[in-house]
Structures are given as C-alpha cells and as structure tokens.
Amino acid sequence: MATEVDTWSTAPQHDAGVFSFEDELGELDGEEDMLNDGEVNGNWTPQEKALHEARLKAKAKRRLRKSSSRDSTRESLSESLSGDPGADPNSPKGKVNTHDRKSRTGKGRGLPKKGGAGGKGVWGAAGMVYEMEEPDVKDPNYDESAQGDTVYETVVPELEEGELEKTVNPIVQEYFEHGDTKEVEMLLKELNLGPHKFEFSSLAVSLALEGKASHRELTSRLLSDLTGKILSESDVARAFDKMLKELPDLILDTPEAPQMLGQFVARAIADHALPMNFLNRYKGKVDCEHARAALDRASVLLSMKREIVRLDNVWGVGGGQRPVRHLIKEMNLLLKEYLVSGDLSEAEHCLRDLEVPHFHHELVYEAVVMVLESKGDTAVRMMVKLLQAFWKTGLITLDQMNRGFQRVYDELPEINLDVPHAHSIMESFVDLCYQESVITKQLRDACPSRGRKRFVSEGDGGVIKS
C-alpha cells in the first residue's frame, strides 16, 4: 500500500486555472504508464486496477464540469472556426442556444437587439415616426374605397346605329307634346351618341316632315337651341346633307318634302344652326331635281328683306298662339268650302291643321248658325253629316259639342231678330242631330224651342193650347 500512496502522490498537479482536454489526456496517459509499470512489477491486483481506473475517470468528469461554464463560449467559437468550412453558420446545429440573448462575442450587457425594435412583427421603438407609404394597388389587402375621396365615373355604352332610332324617336315625340328643349338637352347628355350624333337632327326633321306645322316649328327651335350645346354646325350640316340625298325616298311619304326641307334649311341658316356658306357648297354640284328644288326654296327665303331674315314665321304661328279672330275666320272658311265641295276628309284635315282642340266649340257654333241662316234642307243635312263624322272620329269631344250648342241656345233670342223662324229651325235641327247620335238627350231637352208654352191669340181669352 505504501507503493500505491507514493504513486498517487507523484501524479502531475494542475493549476486551478484553465483546464484543457489535452492536459487531461496527458495526465491520464501518464497514470496509465504508471499503471502499466505496476502491472509489470506485479504489485497490482485486478480489483485494485479496476478501482484505480474508476477513480481516475470520476476525477476527470469533476474537472470537466467545473470548467464547462466558463469555457462554453470559447469552445463554441473554436468549434465553429475549426469545423467544416461548407457548413451553414445559421444552421440550428451550429448554435449552442438559439434562445439565448447573450452576446456571442462575449460583449454587451445581454439587452435585446435594437432596444426591442428590430424583431419580426414589432411596431418599433417608442417615439419612432414612420413616413407615409403609398398604397400598393397590387397588394391583396388593397382597399380602393378606403383611399380617400374616390371618384366613380359612369361609363355609358355607345349607341349603335340600329338602337339610335329606337332611342331618339320617343324623345322627339315627347318633345312635340311638351315643347321643352331643356328636357331634350338633358336626355341627350345622358346618352352616348358617339359618331352618330349628327343623325339626331335628321331623325327629328324626318319626324317633323310627317307631322304638323307646329311640329316643324318646334323642330326648328330645337335645332337652334341645341346648336353649340349638344350639336355643332358641322353636325347639323351633315344631317341636312344626308336628307338632301334621301329626298327621293322622303317624297314617297311626304310629297311636299322638297319645299319643307328648303324651309328647314333657310330657318337653320337664319338661326345660325347651319353655316352661312351651306348653300354655296351645292352650286353646280346637284343632279337631283328634288334637291335642287329644296335648295332653290331656301335661297328664295333667304333673299327676302332683312326684317324677316330670321324667318320666325316660316312655319306659321302655332294654333294656341293664333288670334281668336284669325281662328274664327279659318273655321268659317273651312265650313264654306265644305258646303261647296262636300269633302269630309279635307275638312277634317283642315281642322286638325289648326291644332286648337280647345277651340272646337267655335266650329260647332259657326256650323249651327250657318244652318239657321241658310235656306233649304241641304245645309242642314250636310252639317249634321259633318258633325257626325267629327263626333265619331273623336275630333270634337262631348264637352266641345255641348259648349257649341249651348252658346247657340244662349244667343237664340238675338239670332231670332235676324232669322224669324230660328226657333223652329233650331228645333228640327236638334231633333235630327239627336237621331244621328250627334248630341245627347239632355242637350236636346235643353233646347229653348222644345217644350215652350204657346199661347193663343188675344181673342181666345188667353187660354193655353193643349
């Protein structure tokens, strides 16, 4: 045992400083050499040998645990520098502790990097001011409605040539009823006429040619008001160019189309809807006789005196704007022509052209007065036939018919001064009208001559005849 103690006491001693793995291996090698010498001398038993080896291993483990806490960083650096050059330093296998906030270089105080403002998904350090970033349209989270004042533009599809006529015709027909050019302007602004904008003028003029004089007057006013707002002079010129070429077809429906179109051209030039040199473009270049007639008509109207250059009355005054005396004269002329010719269709056409449905009671009044002043039964039969035709077609309404007869009833005493037998003629005429269903039973009973008390002469003692 003395030899054993000497052997242990002679083992190499190490400082309490840094312990290296090579020093430990060297110490173990030296002790193994000593153990081999003891085996050679035959001083060690197998039990003593196993015990000695266990003690040496335990001692080495204690020294490794003692120095591991100080040298962990140094060992990790040495391993990273002496390791495989192709290995990834960012790989989790190359990190000692991925959740350790301590500095890998042994510097710093262990605080979070960038003061806690540099991590992923953080808002940044306190007090940090960010610049305004422009929104990216390609961003999946891009919200167009949240980008301030959003302006939405309504895209109106352009009208095709086939749909243009279906859309414009109702607008023009309604305009003939109300006569408000501003409403037409508003409706046209909502449409996208595109390159076919000039066709609005040609469609409006075509409808006016088939209509009444008041419709043509309204159409001329419409072209004048829309020029410079919706239409330009070149658009109106293109429209009339097209209509001059289509005159042979327009004559089939409207025989007076050349003269009317010439009046439209003259009125448009006077209203500055057409350029002043419009007629000069066609001098010596027109082969169609109908187009020449229209241009000649326009040239004649424009060559009149300066006082009527604007040609405001080229279509005449509208029915509602005509003086009452003029309307009475027109109706008297209409009835006299009918008594001479007996043409019901012509009389109806003339009455419609007057366009005064509110004044038709004047026609009834004049017709009844003519019957009272006439001689013979011819005028009675013809007037009953005329009133019957107007009543069946609806040209004269029940109200206008009643008003016309009532006016005659009220003035019958004065008429009787000039026509002594006015009461008896009126009575027979009313009976005939009632039989032909021209007037109602109530109107027939309201006749002053019907049911009138007739006294006998003074010699009969004032007895009323039964």
In-domain check, residue 387: yes
Per-residue pLDDT at 405: 92
Considering the chain, what percentage of its residues have pLDDT values greater than 90? 20
- CATH code of 384's domain: 1.25.40.180
- Is the pLDDT score of 14 beyond 60? no
Alpha-carbon gap, residue 277 to 281, rounded angstroms: 7
Alpha-carbon gap, residue 212 to 179, rounded angstroms: 14
> How does residue 324 score in pLDDT terms, banded at 50, 70 and 90?
confident
405 class by beta-carbon count within 10 Å (0-12 exposed, 13-18 middle, 19+ buried): buried
- Is the pLDDT score of 355 beyond 70? yes
CA 332 to chain centre: 52
What would the DSSP string read from start to end of 379-404?
Answer: HHHHHHHHHHHHHHHTSS-HHHHHHH
Q: What is the DSSP letter of 464?
A: B
In-domain check, residue 137: no
Query: Pick from 65, 80, 110: which residue ends a domain?
Result: 65
For 360-414, what is each residue's pLDDT tens digit?
999 999 999 999 988 878 888 999 999 999 988 888 988 999 999 999 999 988 8
In-domain check, residue 46: yes
In-domain check, residue 57: yes
Per-residue pLDDT at 100: 57
Tally Cβ neighbours within 10 Å of residue 244.
Answer: 21
Considering the chain, what percentage of its residues have pLDDT values greater than 70? 70
> How does residue 164 score in pLDDT terms, banded at 50, 70 and 90?
confident
Per-residue pLDDT at 376: 79
- Coarse DSSP helix, strand, coil percentages of the chain, rounded to the nearest 5 percent: 65, 0, 35
Range with the poorest average pLDDT among 67-76, 257-266, 409-418, 420-429 = 67-76
Pair 304, 326 in one domain? no
In-domain check, residue 173: yes
Pair 200, 329 in one domain? no
CA angle, 364 as apex, 360 and 365 as ends, to 5°?
A: 110
Per-residue pLDDT at 74: 54
In-domain check, residue 249: yes
- What domain count does the chain have? 3
Query: Pick from 279, 308, 337: which residue ends a domain?
Result: 308
Q: CA 32 → CA 8, 11, 20, 55, distances in Å?
A: 12, 11, 19, 13
The residue count for the chain: 466
- Is the pLDDT score of 13 beyond 60? no
Choose between 7 and 402: higher pLDDT.
402
Pair 290, 327 in one domain? no
Pair 212, 299 in one domain? yes
What would the DSSP string read from start to end of 269-321?
Answer: HHTTSS-TTTGGGGTT----HHHHHHHHHHHHHHTS-GGGTT-TTTT---GGG
Per-residue pLDDT at 419: 85
For 230-276, what is each residue's pLDDT tens digit?
999 999 999 999 999 999 999 988 888 999 999 999 989 988 899 88
- Is the pLDDT score of 62 beyond 90? no
Pair 286, 354 in one domain? no
Per-residue pLDDT at 196: 85
Pair 331, 279 in one domain? no
In-domain check, residue 37: yes
Provide the domain limits for residue 270: 161-308
Q: What is the mean pLDDT of the chain?
A: 77
The two three-digit tokens of residue 161, written as one number: 């040539």
In-domain check, residue 73: no
For 103-151, what is each residue's pLDDT tens digit?
566 666 666 667 667 667 777 777 777 777 777 888 888 776 666 666 7
Pair 254, 357 in one domain? no
> How does residue 30 score in pLDDT terms, banded at 50, 70 and 90?
low
Pair 25, 49 in one domain? yes
Query: Pick from 285, 308, 331: which residue ends a domain?
Result: 308
On whether the CB atoms of residues 102 and 110 are closer than 8 A, the answer is yes
> How does residue 11 score in pLDDT terms, banded at 50, 70 and 90?
very low
> How does residue 206 score in pLDDT terms, banded at 50, 70 and 90?
very high
Pair 261, 385 in one domain? no
